[in-house]
């Protein structure tokens, strides 16, 4: 009863037979083995499952895998080339933007989409861009700091383009 | 201890590279060949008799392996889930709790059956097909109603709903009140909170009948205790049970105690002979993971007109839920800490634990100390209001100043400087400036308020003399093992376990500095009962550094003592003539005669050791702290309440804390920022709500349960003072709960200060827009 799903995940073209009701997040985690994308709430408030779908941030727990047919998906594992770090990853590390780390991939992916559109976001714009992501550990202070630091680093051309 | 190269340094966390790249390893990332998936059938009713369970339709689905009920589990599990004697030793009524209901359900979400299937979606489908017939019974969800005569019984065979009822007497309270010139009274609510770790709970188990081995993976703050409890219930020798707690996506106290699924999943694996995994949904989490707080306090405080505090008399009605939490009585420590940082002649505190038809409460970040602080700081502000004194001045007049300070209940505060943190907080927050701006704002009809919270906590659990009885026999000391391998790399094992606190970094800094080896040479291991000393005691109560870190430190000292003997042997010198600096032993006056500790470690595995010396360079140490540790601080919050909407906006937040010496200031700041956020969340946003009539949970998703986003929280101004603890050689205290203990009182005191011109003197939490708007409407009538 499976249907064929054709997607590109982190640059790799794939074709898989999937159940029509399979959620995109479970496709990524279980079929593709990319467990960096997490499930936190099941109901689209927390954003732990955020991935990039054709460059836009989407919540992969609220989308069927088949709805992604034909799309290019980037997960946290594919944000930077193997062994390297994206400026956002570096900035979260340097600014202590994470504690338990469970929400972090979702924050980084949502921030990546934000910075792709806005190279110099204000505090308010960062707040709007990340209003769909919840963190229980940090109080967000260092997350905001990390996003600003990453934006600056990217403006200064220190990094590869998003999704690269 | 001096700040050296690594201790006191803002070292970037070693945990982060895997977590920022998606290579963390949380419970749901674990799998096994042949893994099956378990789903739990839960009671939709707060109280009901189970008349029958029909699993036929579920069993008929292809891929469903079993539908199991209490009758099946009684064959592989025995006993009642544990309840410690902590803090309320005179328990009156402790209902038995088997992990799955067999004839009566007592809270919504209580397990009734489980389904095991080859696929998680299928397991969920099949759980929906299990047909349970219930006869609903009267339920009670309000604790004050539950303790009244004529209340429905939470357990139909119980004598009443009173779990405990005891009074802590600290001094002659009647004498204190007899001298009172001013008395203030208040009723203060602590709403139920859902801890809401971003990662829900999860359990995976694999039982092998060959040699009777059980492996259990679960998201836990406390893997060794889980091993103890589960091995006992399953009748498997503790040594044959391995519990692994991998990366843990937040805990906040909710992953300390054992849960029904911690037993049901391994039991199902034993019954079926297959590995089994269960991952909690968010709705299951809000419904069945422990709640925090849940108390009604009534209090009266007595003082002289000059502001001298005399007496505090209070009653805590603690909403236990349907069963005692394993450490649920811990929240009674709110009573013992209700005097805060002040000198009182007497305090009398009655605590009543009351059963209700709701999920149990248990420790949640701060556990009793936020409640004690909130109560004390609210009462002090009420008193200042009544006396017409500046709240900072009233606090100063009554601060404890001589340390060690013995409070009314005989607890000994190790060190403190409450004037120091308050002075700095007032300066950093521009308190006087805000008072002026407040006067101006009031002149314009705006509602601006300033709130203080000068807090102290008891943490670092804890001395064996105090904790062995509290747990029912296992003292909350801590253990560590350090082992040099021949290559010079160092494996350090601890019995604590991090869930965001960065122990891998902090503890490695401590070991590397103490042993004089590069940070990269140290490998910190925790969370796996198959490694390290026999027992670990877990991470909670801000204990990991002051107890676990000290165990590492004492193990390091033992290693250095042995290494010194061996180095002396190798250098043909006397041990007393050696100096140890920068990781090397040198002979005093002859710096050429030198052996690094890593050279000594290699030699320890060779031949020709001194007479009587064993091979190897390793040590196991258990640290039993002589006292608790007592962090403290002062927080200042400024809010403005919108008259039209009732929304309280935080204009400024300042926190000055003192946790003694600090290993990694970056991590300490992060803990404080997060703690403040969590406490502001209680003050303004979060509340678990049950329908009073039906007993149904109304806040079952994150859409209804308001965890704040980035946009609701301020960026606090932070600073620290340093008053080392005399309790341990490192001079450290604890910081994991500080912000959560401090902030709610500062925020609510500010809200009350803002509303004072309207004649409003108290506001309960959450101070949500609708609550404040209603209060203002009532005040205006």
Chain B nearest-CA distance from A6, in A, is 22
Q: What are the backbone angles phi and psi of residue A34, rounded to the nearest 5°?
A: -100, 90
Do residue A93 and residue A130 come from a single domain? yes
* Residue B527 to residue B400: CA distance in whole angstroms: 39
Query: A54 and A109: one domain?
Result: no
- Please report the pLDDT score of residue B465 as a whole number: 87
Domain boundary among A18, A50, A78: A78
Contact B702 A105 (CB under 8 A): no
DSSP 8-state symbol, B27: G
Name the DSSP class of B199.
S
For residues B184 and B383, is the Cβ–Cβ distance under 8 A?
Answer: yes
Is the pLDDT at B324 greater than 90, yes or no? Answer: yes
Domain B478-623 has CATH 3.40.50.2300: no
Contact A40 B282 (CB under 8 A): yes
ipTM for this model: 0.96
pLDDT digits (tens, 9 = 90+) for B347-384: 999 999 999 999 999 999 999 999 999 999 999 999 99
pLDDT of res. B1:
40
Are both A74 and A108 inside the same structural domain? no
Closest partner residue to B24 among A80, A93, A101, by Cβ?
A101
DSSP state, residue B544: I
Compute chain B's Rg from CA coordinates: 27
- Show Cβ contacts of residue B284 under 8 Å, excluding neighbours closer than 6 positions: B40, B42, B109, B200
Q: What is the model's pLDDT at position B103?
A: 97
**Chain B residues whose beta carbon lies within 8 Å of the beta carbon of residue A85:** 20-21
For chain B, the structural domain boundaries read: 33-366, 414-461+627-780, 478-623
Same domain for A26 and A67: yes
Q: Which residue of A has its CA nearest to B26?
A: A102
3-state SS record for chain A: CCEEEEEEECCEEEEEEECCCCEHHHHHHHHCCCCCCCCCCCCCCCCCCEEEECCEEEEHHHCEHHHHCCCEEECHHHCCCCCCCCHHHHHHHHCCCCCCCCCHHHHHHHHHHHHHHCCCCCHHHHHHHCCCCCCCCCCCHHHHHHHHHHHHHHHCCCCCCCCC
Whether residues A74 and A93 share a domain: the answer is: no
Same domain, A70 and A94: no
Closest chain A residue by Cα to residue B30: A35
This prediction has a pTM of 0.97
Contact yes or no for A134 and B709 at CB 8 A:
yes
Q: How far is the C-alpha of B639 from the C-alpha of B748, rounded, in Å?
A: 9
Nearest-angstrom CA–CA distance, A24 and A16: 12
CB spacing of B710 vs A131 below 8 angstroms: yes
Give kind and range of the element (H or E) at residue B775: helix B769-780
Q: Compute the average pLDDT of residues B649-678.
A: 98
Going across the sheet that includes A50-53, the strands are A12-18, A3-9, A72-74, A50-53, A56-59
pLDDT of residue B8 exceeding 80: yes
Residues in A closer than 8 angstroms to B19, CB to CB, are 98, 101, 104
pLDDT at B5: 84
Is A60 a domain residue? yes
A131 contacts B709? CB cut-off 8 A: yes
Q: Which residue of A has its CA nearest to B717?
A: A141
Across-strand partners of B434? none
pLDDT in tens, chain A (164 residues): 699 999 999 999 999 999 999 999 999 999 999 999 999 999 999 999 999 999 999 999 999 999 999 999 999 999 999 889 999 999 999 999 999 999 999 999 999 999 999 999 999 999 999 999 999 999 999 999 999 999 999 999 854 555 44
Clarify whether residues A131 and A91 are in a common domain: yes
Cβ contact B670–A37 (<8 Å): no
Mean pLDDT of B71-81: 97
Residues of A in contact with B503 (CB under 8 A): none
Averaged pLDDT, B15-33: 98
Chain B partners within 8 Å of A40 (Cβ) = 198-200, 282
Tally of CB atoms within 10 A around B609: 17
Question: Do B500 and A100 lie within an 8 Å CB cutoff?
Answer: yes
pLDDT value at B431 more than 50: yes
C-beta atoms of A43 and B199 within 8 A:
no
Q: Which residue has the higher pLDDT, B29 or B4?
A: B29
Tell me what the pLDDT averaged over chain B comes to: 96
A40 and A107 together in one domain: no
Q: Kindly list the distances between the CA atom of residue B369 and the CA atoms of A87, B375, B387, B736, in Å, as whole numbers in the listed order.
A: 40, 10, 26, 12
Residue B91: predicted pLDDT: 81
Residues of B in contact with A140 (CB under 8 A): 677, 709-710, 713
Name every chain A residue with its beta carbon within 8 A of the beta carbon of B671.
99
Instruction: List all residues 6 or more positions away from B687 whose beta carbon is below 8 Å from its beta carbon.
Output: B191, B192, B193, B699, B705, B765, B766, B768
Task: Give me the residue from B15, B670, B713 closest to A142, CB to CB.
Answer: B670
**List of chain B residues whose C-beta atoms are within 8 Å of the C-beta of residue A80:** 21
Q: Which of B16, B707, B739 sits opposite A93 (nearest CB)?
A: B16
Instruction: Report if residue A129 sits inside a domain.
Output: yes
- A47 and A113 share one domain: no
pLDDT at B3: 40
Question: Is residue A103 located within the same domain as residue A133?
Answer: yes
Whether A161 is covered by a domain: the verdict is no
Confidence of residue B2 (pLDDT cuts 50, 70, 90): very low
B513-554 residue pLDDT tens: 999 999 999 999 999 999 999 899 999 999 999 999 999 999
Range(s) of the domain holding residue A142: 87-155
Distances in Å between the alpha carbon of B736 and those of A74, B268, B739?
35, 36, 8
| pLDDT of B93 higher than 90 | yes
- Which CATH number characterizes residue A97's domain? 1.10.150.120
Which pLDDT belongs to residue B657? 98
| Mean pLDDT value of segment B43-58 | 98
CA-nearest residue to B284 within chain A is: A41
Is residue A160 in a domain?
no
Question: What is the model's pLDDT at position B780?
Answer: 82
If asked whether residues A71 and A20 sit together in one domain, one would say: yes
Nearest-Cα distance to chain A for B251, in Å, is: 9
Q: Residues B33-366: name the CATH superfamily.
A: Aldehyde oxidase/xanthine dehydrogenase, a/b hammerhead (3.90.1170.50)
**CATH fold for the domain made of B414-461+627-780:** Aldehyde Oxidoreductase; domain 4 (3.30.365)
Res B4: pLDDT: 55
Distance from CA of A70 to the nearest CA of B (A): 24
**Could you tell me if residue A42 is inside a domain?**
yes
Distance from CA of B553 to the nearest CA of A (A): 24
- pLDDT bin (cut points 50, 70, 90) of residue B322 is very high
Task: Summarize the confidence of residues B250-261 as an average pLDDT.
Answer: 97
Q: Are residues A72 and A12 in the same domain?
A: yes
Half-sphere exposure of B261 (CA within 13 A, CB side): 32
Residue A126 burial class via C-beta count within 10 angstroms: exposed 0-12, middle 13-18, buried 19 and up: buried
CB contact under 8 A, A102 and B501: no
How would residue B484 be classed by pLDDT, with cut points 50, 70 and 90? very high
Q: How far is B78 from chain A (nearest CA, A)?
A: 33
Out of A75, A103, A141, the one facing B22 most closely (by C-beta) is A75
| pLDDT value, residue A160 | 53
How many domains is chain A built from?
A: 2
Measured CA to CA in angstroms, residue B468 lies from B228, B335, B461 at distances of 15, 20, 11
């Amino acid at each position: 009863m499976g249907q064929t799903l054709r997607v590109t995940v982190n640059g790799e073209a794939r074709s898989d037979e999937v159940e029509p009701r399979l959620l995109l997040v479970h496709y990524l985690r279980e079929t593709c083995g990319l467990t960096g994308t997490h499930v936190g709430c099941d109901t689209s408030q927390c954003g732990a499952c955020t991935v990039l779908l054709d460059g836009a941030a989407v919540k992969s727990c609220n989308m069927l895998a088949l709805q992604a047919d034909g799309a290019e998906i980037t997960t946290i594992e594919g944000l930077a080339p193997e062994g390297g770090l994206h400026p956002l990853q570096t900035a979260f590390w340097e600014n202590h933007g994470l504690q338990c780390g469970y929400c972090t991939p979702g924050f980084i992916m949502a921030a990546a989409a934000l910075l792709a559109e806005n190279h110099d976001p204000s505090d308010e714009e960062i707040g709007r861009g990340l209003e769909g992501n919840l963190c229980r550990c940090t109080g967000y202070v260092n997350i905001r700091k990390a996003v600003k630091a990453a934006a600056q680093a990217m403006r200064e051309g220190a990094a590869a383009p998003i999704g690269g | 201890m001096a700040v050296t190269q690594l201790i006191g340094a803002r070292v970037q966390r070693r945990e982060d590279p895997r977590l920022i790249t998606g290579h963390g390893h949380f419970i749901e990332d674990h799998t096994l060949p042949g893994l099956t998936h378990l789903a739990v059938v839960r009671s939709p009713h707060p109280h009901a008799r189970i008349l029958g369970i029909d699993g036929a339709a579920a069993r008929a689905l292809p891929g469903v392996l079993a539908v199991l009920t209490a009758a099946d589990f009684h064959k592989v599990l025995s006993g009642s889930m544990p309840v410690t004697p902590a803090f309320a030793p005179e328990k009156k009524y402790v209902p038995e709790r088997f992990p799955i209901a067999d004839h009566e359900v007592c809270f919504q979400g209580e397990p009734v059956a489980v389904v095991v299937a080859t696929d998680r979606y299928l397991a969920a489908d099949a759980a929906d097909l299990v047909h349970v017939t219930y006869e609903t019974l009267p339920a009670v969800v309000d604790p004050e109603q539950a303790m009244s005569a004529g209340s429905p019984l939470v357990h139909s065979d119980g004598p009443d709903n009173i779990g405990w009822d005891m009074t802590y007497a600290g001094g002659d309270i009647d004498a204190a009140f007899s001298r009172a010139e001013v008395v203030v009274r208040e009723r203060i609510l602590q709403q139920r909170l859902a801890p809401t770790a971003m990662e829900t709970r999860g359990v995976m188990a694999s039982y092998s009948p060959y040699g009777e081995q059980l492996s259990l993976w679960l998201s836990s703050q406390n893997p060794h205790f889980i091993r103890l409890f589960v091995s006992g219930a399953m009748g498997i020798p503790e040594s044959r049970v391995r519990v692994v707690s991998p990366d843990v996506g937040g805990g906040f106290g909710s992953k300390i105690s054992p849960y029904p699924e911690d037993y049901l999943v391994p039991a199902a694996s034993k019954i079926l002979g297959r590995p089994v995994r269960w991952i909690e949904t968010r709705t299951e989490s809000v419904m069945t993971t422990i709640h925090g707080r849940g108390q009604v306090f009534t209090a009266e405080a007595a003082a002289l007109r000059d502001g001298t505090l005399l007496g505090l008399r209070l009653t805590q009605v603690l909403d236990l839920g349907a069963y005692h939490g394993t450490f649920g009585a811990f929240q009674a420590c709110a009573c013992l800490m209700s005097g805060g940082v002040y000198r009182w002649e007497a305090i009398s505190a009655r605590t009543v634990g009351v059963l209700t038809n709701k999920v149990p409460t248990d420790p949640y970040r701060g556990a009793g100390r936020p409640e004690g602080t909130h109560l004390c700081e609210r009462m002090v502000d009420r008193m200042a209001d009544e006396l017409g004194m500046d709240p900072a001045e009233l606090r100063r007049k009554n601060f404890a100043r001589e340390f060690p300070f013995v409070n009314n209940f005989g607890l000994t505060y190790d060190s403190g400087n409450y004037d120091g943190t308050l002075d700095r907080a007032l300066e950093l927050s521009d308190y006087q400036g805000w008072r002026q701006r407040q006067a101006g704002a009031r002149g314009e009809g705006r509602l601006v308020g300033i709130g203080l919270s000068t807090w102290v906590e008891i943490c670092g659990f804890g001395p064996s003399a105090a904790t062995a009885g509290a747990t029912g026999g296992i003292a909350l000391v801590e253990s560590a093992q350090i082992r040099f391998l021949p290559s010079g790399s160092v494996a350090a094992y601890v019995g604590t376990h991090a869930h965001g606190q960065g122990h891998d970094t902090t503890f490695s800094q401590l070991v590397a500095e103490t042993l004089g080896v590069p940070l990269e040479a140290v490998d910190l291991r925790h969370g796996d009962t198959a490694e390290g000393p026999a027992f670990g005691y877990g991470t909670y109560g801000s204990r990991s550094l002051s107890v676990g870190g000290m165990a590492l430190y004492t193990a390091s000292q033992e290693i250095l003592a042995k290494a010194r003997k061996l180095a002396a042997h190798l250098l043909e010198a006397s041990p007393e003539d050696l100096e140890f600096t920068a990781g090397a032993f040198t002979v005093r006056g002859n710096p050429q005669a030198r052996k690094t500790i890593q050279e000594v470690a290699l030699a320890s595995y060779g031949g020709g050791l001194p007479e009587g010396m064993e091979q190897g360079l390793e040590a196991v140490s258990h640290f039993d702290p002589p006292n608790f540790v007592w962090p403290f601080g002062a927080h200042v919050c400024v809010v403005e309440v919108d008259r039209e909407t009732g929304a309280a906006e935080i204009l400024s937040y300042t926190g000055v804390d003192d946790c003694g010496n600090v290993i990694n200031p970056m991590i300490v700041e992060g803990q404080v920022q997060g703690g403040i956020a969590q406490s502001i969340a209680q003050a303004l946003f979060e509340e678990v709500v049950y329908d009073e009539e039906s007993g149904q949970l109304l806040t079952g998703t994150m859409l209804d349960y308001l965890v704040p986003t980035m946009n609701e929280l301020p960026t606090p101004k932070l600073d620290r003072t340093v008053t080392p603890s005399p309790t341990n050689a490192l001079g450290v205290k604890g910081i994991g709960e500080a912000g959560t203990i401090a902030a709610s009182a500062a925020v609510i005191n500010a809200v009350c200060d803002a509303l004072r011109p309207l004649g409003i003197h108290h506001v309960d939490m959450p101070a949500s827009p609708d609550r404040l708007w209603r209060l203002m409407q009532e005040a205006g009538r």
